[in-house]
Amino acid sequence: MRVLVFGRTGQVARELQRFEGVTALGRDEADFNDVEACAKRVNEALADVVINATAYTAVDNAETDAAQAYRVNADTVGAIARVAAERRLPFLHISTDYVFDGSGERPWREVDATAPLGVYGASKLRGEEMVRAARGCHAILRTSWVVSAHGKNFVKTMLRLGAERQVLNVVADQVGAPTCASDIAQTLMEMARQLSNDPGKSGVYHYSGAPYVSWADFAREIFHQAGIDCKVEDIPSDAYPTAAKRPSNSMLDCTEIDTVFGVKRPDWRGGVSRIFADLKTS
């Protein structure tokens, strides 16, 4: 299976490049600020499947940079989806828990009403809508709290801060599930394979790690596994103000992806162990 991936240096993009048959396009080859150029790459590609692992993910900056957030997360995504549909290529796109408002206490289902709290979530939701509007074979994979040995993420931040401090304040009233980029990549490849044989599986799916956890308890597990003696103090979200409001409830119900694709939620604690192993060898 020949897979064209948009993105080369992001967390999921780097993990996708571990698979055979993957061609990853970096910004120098496919700049998401250039809508038509990216669409042209799909039209010219020798590919069986297209995966978008590129996004504008600067959640706070998006509040004052809405034009670029929408261009990257929606306009270019829509253009790629349209060309993929014309060529009858399955198109897989990564989305986010930020399309929801974070209310309630139960995990979000795919059919639940969306209501983004900020520009980032709204731009990602618009991208979802444009993928569906292309009417091609597609899968929109909503995920949360992505971590890996690459780039900037919560695991690497905690390792750095934990080594510098004896006590660390971490938000405890936001609950979700960490998801390892390697697990997302493996899931995307499995979905791509199945979609190629059965386009009827097209749709929106949720995928995240297990079990659900708060950011504070996530930090405690990171320190525990790393053997770092740093105490975590629980704080509320309003004690750590940000330009964009974060959802309090980021829990995703992953029943549907298990039912349709046979993909189960991975235990993120084992994923953190793999990240540590990757960091030691990098």
| Residue tagged active-site, from 56, 70, 98, 120 | 120
3-state secondary structure the chain: CCEEEECCCCHHHHHHCCCCCEEEECCCCCCCCCHHHHHHHHHHCCCCEEEECCCCCCCCHHHCCHHHHHHHHHHHHHHHHHHHHHCCCCEEEEEEHHHCCCCCCCCECCCCCCCCCCHHHHHHHHHHHHHHHCCCCEEEEEECCEECCCCCCHHHHHHHHHHHCCEEEEECCCEECCEEHHHHHHHHHHHHHHHHHCHHHCEEEECCCECCEEHHHHHHHHHHHHCCCCEEEEECHHHCCCCCCCCCECCECCHHHHHHHCCCCCEHHHHHHHHHHHHHHC
Class of domain 3-281 (CATH, top level): alpha beta
The per-residue b/e assignment along 29-57, b for 16 or more CB within 10 angstroms, e otherwise, is ebebeebeebbebbeebebebbbbbbbbb
Taking the complete model, does pTM exceed 0.95, yes or no? yes
Quick one: tokens of 270?
């084992």
What average pLDDT values come out for the chain (282 residues) when binned by 10 residues?
96 97 94 92 95 96 97 97 97 98 97 98 98 98 97 96 96 98 98 97 98 98 96 95 95 98 97 94 80
**Structural domain boundaries in the chain:** 3-281
Given this model, what pLDDT does residue 282 score?
A: 74
Given this model, what pLDDT does residue 281 score?
A: 85
120 is catalytic: yes
